[in-house]
A = this chain, B = another copy of it.
Amino acid sequence: MADDRFHVYDTTLRDGAQQEGLNLTVVDKLAIARHLDGLGVGFIEGGWPGANPKDTEFFRRARTELDLKHAQLAAFGATRRAGVKAADDPLVAALRESGAPVVTLVAKSHDRHVELALRTTLQENLAMIRDTVSHLRAEGQRVFLDAEHFFDGYKSNPAYALEVLRTAAEAGASVIALCDTNGGMLPDELAEVVAAAVETSARIGIHCHDDTGCAVANTLAAVKAGATHVQGCANGYGERSGNANLFTVIANLQLKRGFDLVPREALADMTRIAHAITEVTNVTPNSHAPYVGVSAFAHKAGLHASAIKVDPNLYQHIDPAQVGNDMRMLVSDMAGRASVELKGRELGYDLSPDTSRVLVDRVKELESKGYTFEAADASFELLLRDTVAGDRKRRHFEVESWRVIVERTRDGELVSEATVKLHAKGERIVSTGEGNGPVNALDKAVRLGLEKLYPELASVELIDFKVRILEGTHGTDAVTRVLITSSDETGEWATVGVDENIIEASWQALDQAVTYGLLRAGHIAD
């Protein structure tokens, strides 16, 4: 179990799930809890048993299906209703019966919210807090309190907001998390309020939202002001602009402030865990996420590339391996020879100076025509292989011709059909495919035709297709850039094509996508 002196408290399964478009099943929640435990967080808030049947089931199944190594589960719920005993409130009973070692009670600390939302008196609200905390403590659970709207409440009525903290602490709440529920705070002002709260001698936690883009900084400011419990969500999930990104908070505190929050090996697995959680939530990963984003350590500037070779640490704020990420060099028109060589080495090729000069010239020439290689690693690798091979370069297949027809018939039916004529392994192949659009039809025709000779293509799939029109001042002069992402059972790759004709551009990207898929499957062209 984690050290109790400083808490890392995750609320992805409860507050994170408030994110627009996020819908977690019980199985999803169990999977995410395992990932978070793998990272080494101290507490995982599982949901609100009693209020939400899915969350009741989560806690029930967690007892047998979750074997947590580091984390303790916390059940979230409200203080008793006004005018009833805590022991008689069915929602309080559900918290008791959840089996969670920790209960986190949400309580109002803003006078106007007590009056308008709770519709009770300030005194009764204090009694509700006191009773519920003492009752659950007496029943053997540890109790944390989320002081909702605390910062706005402190502005409205500081004496009452602090009275809420004292009441909860005296009743036995071991942590009181101050919630910036509306997310409007900035770090300096927030730190002052936290310092005032710390003076009550209650143990203080912090719960921030990102409505000012400062959730992480607010969390750090609270810690500096004396908070010893930080709440947040995986990947910054949450309502509106999201909650504090717990991964960023952990990395900042551990790598830059010397806190010992999670095991070093677990931190070195954080990038993988962050992405694994996006697989469960089905939310597109943020490539720009600090520390764990795909782009977080990617460098484009050719200017720096030569110096990066000398000392990478001059150009990155931490060693990306500490969080399981990697420095990447992007090949772009701003890149010179140094970055092409670095990229080549990353791909496992040791390029001679001559070869890399030729390659840089080709990259520059192609990029001036609209190609981009930073988002098309596979196209770059094919170009690199062709450059290394020189006159000896070979193709898995040669194209004789292709034709695409898209038609809306008199009866309104939409038909897309493609025919390709190819030569491969000494055979001539004529193959036709239908699809829901011209590129889909072309893709089907090619793969159908080649599958007889290369059965591995059956597992290759076109999974994304991006189109960009470059230089749009005169419709006819514009060129179209197509980026295609393909996958097989073990990974993904991206290829690029450029032409004024969108179908030809798509064809180029498709041709490379299939070629690269064959290389991955171990086929050397002959």
Q: Write the residues of chain A forming the contact surface with B, with a CB cutoff of 8 angstroms.
A: 18-21, 23, 25-27, 52, 110, 112-113, 116-117, 149, 152, 182-184, 186-188, 210-218, 220-221, 224, 236, 239-242, 245, 248, 251-252, 256-257, 282, 284, 286-291, 293-301, 304, 306-307, 310-311, 314-318, 330, 334, 372, 374-375, 399-410, 414, 416, 421, 435-440, 443, 461-478, 480, 485, 499-504, 507
A-B CB contact pairs (8 Å), 5 listed: A116-B310, A212-B290, A239-B298, A240-B299, A466-B472
The interface residues of chain B lying within 8 Å CB-to-CB of A296 are 211, 240-241
Contact assessment for A213 and B408 in the assembled complex, using a CB-CB cutoff below 8 Å: no
The interface residues of chain B lying within 8 Å CB-to-CB of A112 are 311, 314
Contact assessment for A186 and B220 in the assembled complex, using a CB-CB cutoff below 8 Å: yes
Closest CB in chain B relative to A88 CB, distance in Å: 21
In this complex, the member of A310, A410, A474, A478 whose beta carbon has the largest number of chain B beta carbons within 10 angstroms is: A478
Contact assessment for B330 and A20 in the assembled complex, using a CB-CB cutoff below 8 Å: yes
Which of B27, B307, B440 has a CB less than 8 Å from the CB of A472?
Answer: B27
Closest Cβ neighbor of A220 among chain B residues: B186
Q: Report how far A410 CA is from B430 CA in the complex, Å.
A: 13
| Residues A117 and B307 in contact in the complex (CB < 8 Å), given A23-B372, A407-B404, A502-B437 | yes
- How many copies, total? 2
Closest CB in chain B relative to A408 CB, distance in Å: 5
Contact assessment for B503 and A406 in the assembled complex, using a CB-CB cutoff below 8 Å: yes
10 nearest A-B residue pairs (beta carbon): A184-B317, A217-B217, A117-B307, A467-B467, A213-B216, A464-B472, A213-B248, A437-B501, A403-B407, A406-B503
Closest CB in chain B relative to A119 CB, distance in Å: 9
| Residues A256 and B501 in contact in the complex (CB < 8 Å), given A18-B301, A464-B472 | no
Q: Report how far A23 CA is from B476 CA in the complex, Å.
A: 17
Closest CB in chain B relative to A239 CB, distance in Å: 6
The interface residues of chain B lying within 8 Å CB-to-CB of A298 are 20, 239-240
Which of B241, B405, B440, B502 has a CB less than 8 Å from the CB of A289?
Answer: B241
Q: Report how far A20 CA is from B335 CA in the complex, Å.
A: 13
Contact assessment for A438 and B503 in the assembled complex, using a CB-CB cutoff below 8 Å: yes
| Residues A476 and B212 in contact in the complex (CB < 8 Å), given A27-B471, A117-B314, A416-B501 | no
The interface residues of chain B lying within 8 Å CB-to-CB of A299 are 239-240
Contact assessment for B240 and A288 in the assembled complex, using a CB-CB cutoff below 8 Å: yes
Q: Report how far A171 CA is from B299 CA in the complex, Å.
A: 32
Contact assessment for B20 and A374 in the assembled complex, using a CB-CB cutoff below 8 Å: yes
Closest CB in chain B relative to A345 CB, distance in Å: 20
Which of B211, B311, B463 has a CB less than 8 Å from the CB of A475?
Answer: B463
Which of B187, B304, B402, B467 has a CB less than 8 Å from the CB of A469?
Answer: B467
Q: Report how far A201 CA is from B6 CA in the complex, Å.
A: 41
Q: Report how far A183 CA is from B317 CA in the complex, Å.
A: 7
The interface residues of chain B lying within 8 Å CB-to-CB of A474 are 463
Contact assessment for A211 and B317 in the assembled complex, using a CB-CB cutoff below 8 Å: yes
Contact assessment for A406 and B403 in the assembled complex, using a CB-CB cutoff below 8 Å: yes
The interface residues of chain B lying within 8 Å CB-to-CB of A221 are 187-188
The interface residues of chain B lying within 8 Å CB-to-CB of A187 are 187, 217, 220-221
Closest Cβ neighbor of A464 among chain B residues: B472
Which of B288, B304, B475 has a CB less than 8 Å from the CB of A461?
Answer: B475
In this complex, the member of A217, A318, A414 whose beta carbon has the largest number of chain B beta carbons within 10 angstroms is: A217
Which of B282, B318, B416, B473 has a CB less than 8 Å from the CB of A463?
Answer: B473
Closest CB in chain B relative to A288 CB, distance in Å: 5
Q: Report how far A213 CA is from B500 CA in the complex, Å.
A: 36
| Residues A465 and B475 in contact in the complex (CB < 8 Å), given A240-B288, A404-B406 | yes
